[in-house]
């Protein structure tokens, strides 16, 4: 009846996951109870859960990422403490639990923190920057988000029902095959990623189509803000790379469920095929994450330097070069496979070549700052912190791109330090910069500067104190994923890293405090003009938060830095729109399709993990029925009458006129 | 109007000397939908290419089991191929019928497409069942694993396509040739033709190359 599921799945003998799970459960129930008692449920349902508004979906993505950041961060804290204490002892985490923690940490941080964070920011901002009213496929957008949330839910469910994978975040066979991992851990891993992977693919298709097909009048390719370009590159990579992940995990699942022999040791299976396939997705994935971050830094550096981005065209070229080359370097993840010196040399050189367009970007940002009137506000601090940190991470990357060096450093703590250096220093700093920069746009008030700067400095310093020691430990021969060790030389570095983790944690706490303080002081921090930073692109040309239709009129773009241009012209002419005639606007209607679809996907995923076959069929039928019902509806749009549009727009125009008279100098 | 905008632009941007073609604004819904679906199809073909790659890597790993030439039946494959190619033609007919709002020819075209798809699926299923019954299931060897997966993946797509086809017929029956139904029909036609293209790949790589060895 319930497949492999019985009471032994609940880890009554392990206090840590049980208590953590209980706390989370109580937290969720408390929030739910509060929502229901306060009568917020209808609001939540109509305005958020069923929303197909790209801005709301973007905010929900970022919320999901933030919550998951706390979960992934807790795993990180536990690992740092374990390695600090487990010198000539077992520490406090038994091996099977420690293995689950490092696997969950990687899986969560990449798939449910970094991905939703950047996809959320792209969703929130790209249609605004392109001057359009929504993404190409609003309902699918909602489906994509909720499927991502399903994946996150399943991963977290494994904390209390069953177990998570003990195989590392990429579940390499043969360890992840049934003979070595008979439990449900790998199944939790694979099905979560399959479901959220579909969500990511949907988001990718949606954003590619949006950038290529939905741009406002005059928004030629070479007038798009840099963030739109990097969004395009990143989502092209999603479309090209995520199907590889889906196929690879499908093969692994076929091996596990139906006794296939893709990656087994027996019957001619080929383990190295898994390495090639997974990294053919995995390396582009790195750039899927970091390219949007590059876009964010481009926007931030240009805005806070008060200058147009230096070398816009070379930036576009560099972005697209990275997009292409990122598909040609995957083998550098396993130089030790034994492919021979020629193959290794080619992939080593390709890996070094990719540093060139990245270097171009760094110089462009530096030259954008050169001669500018730089305002060191929080988003700018994150950007400068990024430049310093990312260069170090990039240089160690070029070092391990040299095959002979990689043979020594492969699988060591040096590698761990390297990829944290680029992912935290690149993606996470970028996500935080974007968060600080666009928060006023999303919610209509700024974040508190003082706490924001504290958060930056603690995170920045904490990062170095945590990860520089890991480089050293790697150089001293420490391999990654060690549950305990006996080498005295490593011990001090592990202690320093643990201390660094504490500093990092203070940084995270500062960000939470910043959010609370800012919400409390929101009236004082209110952004009335919609343009709090003296911005340059079209998202600043509408109110904060923008109306559901984004723009009362499709903006007419005449050049790069569209809004800066408009401000300059408006100052000369001392008016923004000459007697506009408002028109009715058609917007897509909200739809529960995404949520219902994810509900059935959750049921199906859970049933597949536990081999509850009747429930799998039920979930499948439900998902299909959801689509049919969606396809059957007669009205998928509603009309906002012109008077309403006019009323909303005029309020914002008044505020903006007063701003325009002061700013916008060329 | 556009001339003045162009002139202003050329002045502001030294890289653009002469005429700049102004982007006309967001594309119509029909274009956007079809474009998005094309992008999806490309991603689907990337997924297929992984299974093709796996087949290419594992094709010789027979682990003492049968080789391709020992299990492929060319007569069946020929019938399957004819079915699919014909179904692409009838699907095209149905698309044209939808464009000219002719219900009779639409239903006929779709029904024949469905029938041909089902014949294909039945033949494939019988081929699979026969192999499993002879002990040559996917667990026998890595070669059979990759064979069943690649061909089965295509078969699953055809099954999903058939389900979609029936849904489209029901939609036209219930809603008529509405703009959104026509957009979906266009996507379905793209999907069905793409499966044909993938089958050409399967036919060549698996059956033609495999039969020779």
Using the beta-carbon criterion (under 8 Å), do A631 and B24 form an inter-chain contact?
Answer: no
C-alpha to C-alpha distance for A74 and A504, rounded to whole angstroms? 12
State the nearest Cα–Cα gap between B138 and chain A, in angstroms: 6
Nearest to B167 by CA among A589, A588, A604, A626: A626
Residues 6 or more apart whose Cβ sits within 8 Å of residue B41: B190, B191, B194
Q: Are A383 and A365 in contact (CB under 8 A)?
A: yes
Q: Mutation target for A interface from B6, B17, B46: give the one with most A CBs within 10 A.
A: B46
pLDDT in tens, B142-196: 999 999 999 999 999 999 999 999 999 998 998 888 888 999 999 999 999 999 9
Name the strand (E) or helix (H) holding A434. Answer: helix A429-443
Q: b or e along A510-541 (b: 16 or more beta carbons within 10 Å of the residue's beta carbon)? A: bbeebbebbeeeeeebebbbbbbbbbbbbbbb
Q: How many residues are listed for chain B in this entry? A: 213
A220-224, A630-634, B131-135, B185-189: least confidently modelled range:
A630-634
pLDDT in tens, A205-227: 999 999 999 998 888 888 899 99
State the nearest Cα–Cα gap between B142 and chain A, in angstroms: 5
Q: Are A256 and A194 in contact (CB under 8 A)?
A: no
A243 pLDDT higher than 90: yes
- Written as six digits, the tokens of A32 are 């739910």
By the CB < 8 Å criterion, does B143 face chain A? Answer: yes
Nearest to A59 by CA among A546, A614, A563, A604: A546
* Closest residue on chain B to A238 (Cα): B43
Q: Are A458 and A503 in contact (CB under 8 A)?
A: yes
pLDDT, residue A572, reads 54
- Mean pLDDT within A474-480: 92
Q: Are A456 and A378 in contact (CB under 8 A)?
A: yes
| HSE-CB of A14 using CA atoms within 13 angstroms | 22
| HSE-CB of A517 using CA atoms within 13 angstroms | 12
A475-479, B24-28, B145-149: least confidently modelled range:
B24-28
Taking CA atoms, A482 is separated from A91, A216, A423, A496, A575, in Å, by 11, 53, 21, 17, 65
Q: How many CB atoms lie within 10 A of CB B108?
A: 15
As for the ipTM of the complex, it is 0.89
By the CB < 8 Å criterion, does B176 face chain A? Answer: no
Is residue A445 classed as helix, strand or coil in its secondary structure? strand
A665 pLDDT higher than 50: no
pTM of the model as a whole = 0.91
Using the beta-carbon criterion (under 8 Å), do B22 and A220 form an inter-chain contact?
Answer: yes
Q: How many CB atoms lie within 10 A of CB B204?
A: 11
C-alpha to C-alpha distance for B38 and B83, rounded to whole angstroms? 24
Whether residue A159 has a cis bond before it, omega within 30° of 0: no
C-alpha to C-alpha distance for A634 and A620, rounded to whole angstroms? 24
């Amino acid at each position: 009846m319930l497949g492999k599921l019985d009471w032994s799945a609940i880890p009554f003998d392990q206090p840590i996951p049980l208590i953590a799970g209980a706390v989370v459960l109580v937290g969720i129930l408390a929030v739910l109870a509060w929502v229901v008692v306060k009568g917020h449920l209808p609001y939540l349902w109509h305005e958020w859960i069923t929303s197909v508004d790209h801005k709301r979906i973007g905010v929900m993505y970022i919320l999901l990422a933030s919550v998951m950041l706390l979960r992934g961060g807790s795993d990180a804290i536990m690992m740092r403490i374990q390695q600090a204490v487990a010198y000539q002892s077992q520490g406090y985490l038994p091996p099977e639990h420690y293995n689950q923690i490092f696997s969950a940490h990687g899986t969560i941080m990449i798939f449910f923190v970094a991905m939703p964070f950047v996809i959320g920011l792209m969703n929130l901002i790209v249609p605004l920057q392109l001057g359009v009213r929504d993404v190409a496929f609003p309902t699918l957008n909602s489906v994509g988000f909720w499927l991502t949330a399903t994946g996150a839910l399943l991963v977290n469910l494994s904390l209390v029902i069953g177990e998570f994978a003990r195989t590392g975040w990429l579940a390499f066979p043969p360890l992840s095959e049934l003979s070595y991992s008979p439990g449900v851990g790998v199944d939790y891993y694979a099905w979560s990623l399959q479901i959220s992977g579909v969500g990511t693919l949907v988001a990718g298709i949606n954003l590619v189509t949006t950038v290529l097909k939905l741009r406002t009048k005059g928004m030629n390719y070479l007038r798009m803000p840099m963030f739109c370009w990097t969004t395009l590159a990143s989502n092209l990579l999603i479309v090209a790379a995520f199907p590889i992940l889906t196929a690879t995990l499908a093969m692994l699942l076929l091996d596990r469920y139906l006794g296939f022999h893709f990656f087994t040791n027996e019957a001619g299976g080929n383990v190295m095929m898994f390495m090639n396939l997974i990294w053919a997705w995995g390396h582009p994935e790195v750039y899927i994450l970091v390219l949007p971050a590059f876009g964010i830094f481009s926007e931030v550096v240009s805005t806070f330097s008060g200058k147009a981005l230096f070398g816009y065209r070379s930036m576009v070229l560099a972005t697209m070069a990275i997009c292409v080359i990122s598909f040609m370097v995957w083998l550098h993840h396993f130089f030790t496979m034994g492919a021979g010196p020629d193959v290794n040399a080619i992939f080593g050189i390709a890996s070094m070549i990719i540093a060139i367009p990245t270097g171009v970007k760094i110089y462009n940002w530096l030259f954008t700052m050169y001669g500018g009137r730089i305002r060191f506000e929080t988003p700018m601090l994150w950007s400068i912190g990024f430049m310093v940190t990312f260069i170090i991470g990039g240089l160690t990357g070029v070092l391990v791109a040299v095959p002979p060096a990689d043979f020594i450093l492969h699988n060591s703590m040096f590698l761990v330090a390297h990829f944290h250096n680029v992912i935290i220093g690149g993606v996470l700093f970028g996500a935080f910069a974007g968060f600080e920069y666009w928060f006023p746009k999303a919610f209509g008030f700024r974040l508190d500067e003082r706490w924001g700067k504290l958060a930056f400095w603690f995170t920045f310093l904490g990062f170095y104190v945590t990860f520089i020691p890991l480089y050293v430990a790697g150089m001293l021969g420490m391999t990654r994923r060690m549950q305990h060790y006996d080498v005295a030389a490593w011990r001090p570095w592990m202690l320093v890293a643990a201390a660094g983790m504490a500093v990092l944690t203070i940084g995270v706490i500062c960000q939470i405090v910043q959010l609370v303080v800012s919400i409390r002081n929101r009236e004082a921090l209110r952004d009335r003009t919609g343009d709090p930073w003296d911005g340059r692109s079209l998202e600043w040309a509408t109110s904060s938060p923008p109306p559901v239709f984004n723009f009362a009129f499709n903006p007419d773009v005449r050049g790069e830095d569209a809004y800066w241009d408009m401000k300059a012209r408006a100052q000369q002419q001392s008016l923004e729109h000459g007697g506009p005639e408002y028109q009715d606007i058609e917007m897509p209607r909200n739809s529960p399709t995404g949520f219902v679809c994810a509900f059935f996907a959750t049921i199906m995923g859970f049933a597949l993990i536990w081999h509850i076959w009747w429930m799998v069929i039920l979930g499948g039928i439900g998902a299909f029925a959801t689509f049919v019902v969606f396809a059957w509806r007669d009205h998928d749009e509603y009309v906002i009458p012109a008077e309403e549009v006019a009323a909303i727009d005029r309020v914002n125009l008044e505020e903006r006129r007063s701003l325009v008279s002061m700013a916008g100098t060329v | 109007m556009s001339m003045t905008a162009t002139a202003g632009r050329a002045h502001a941007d030294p890289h653009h000397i002469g005429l700049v073609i102004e982007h006309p604004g967001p594309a119509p819904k029909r274009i956007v939908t079809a474009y998005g679906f094309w992008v999806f199809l490309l991603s689907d073909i990337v997924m297929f290419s992984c299974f093709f790659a796996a087949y290419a890597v594992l094709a010789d790993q027979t682990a003492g089991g049968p080789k391709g030439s020992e299990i492929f039946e060319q007569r069946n494959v020929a019938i399957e191929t004819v079915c699919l190619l014909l179904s692409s033609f009838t699907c095209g007919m149905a698309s044209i019928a939808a464009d000219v709002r002719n219900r009779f020819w639409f239903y006929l075209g779709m029904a024949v497409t469905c029938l041909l798809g089902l014949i294909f699926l039945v033949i494939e299923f019988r081929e699979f069942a026969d192999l499993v019954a002879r002990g040559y299931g996917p667990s026998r060897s890595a070669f059979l694993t990759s064979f069943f997966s690649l061909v089965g993946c295509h078969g699953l797509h055809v099954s999903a396509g058939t389900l979609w086809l029936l849904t489209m017929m029901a939609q036209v029956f219930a809603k008529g040739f509405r703009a959104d139904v026509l957009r979906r029909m266009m996507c379905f036609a793209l999907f069905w033709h793409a499966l044909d293209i993938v089958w050409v790949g399967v036919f060549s790589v698996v059956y033609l190359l495999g039969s020779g060895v």
